[in-house]
Amino acid sequence: MSPLADSTELQDLAPRIIWFEPPEQALRDPVRFLAYAFAHATHDDMRVIRSKVGDDELRAALDAAPPGIIDPRSWSYWHAILGRHPAPAMTVRTYEEGS
């Protein structure tokens, strides 16, 4: 996925979506940023994001989302919004024995 556009609007909303790190760091990994946005962004936040990121890129972010960030309700919602119904199974964290 291509990097997110360097945008003042995205810089301004990044702290509300990934509140635990600086905006520059949050925006460095677009897939991770969008995964948090799917779970935590407001409607207005997503309107800004969708003005910068196309639906194909949003689908790619859903496909590559790290497990454990997006909750089941948001997973289903965003797949439906992006034309994927029913939503595929969510990715899950796996642990190796002994770790």
pLDDT band at 99 (very low <50, low <70, confident <90, very high): low
Beta-carbon neighbour count of residue 56 at 10 Å?
A: 10
pLDDT digits (tens, 9 = 90+) for 57-69: 999 999 999 999 9
Coil, helix or strand at residue 29: coil
Nearest to 60 by CA among 89, 39, 82: 82
Q: What is the mean pLDDT of residues 84-92?
A: 88
pLDDT band at 96 (very low <50, low <70, confident <90, very high): confident
Domain coordinates in residue numbering, the chain: 8-81
Q: What is the mean pLDDT of residues 16-40?
A: 95
- pLDDT the model gives residue 52: 93
| Of residues 5 and 24, more confidently modeled | 24
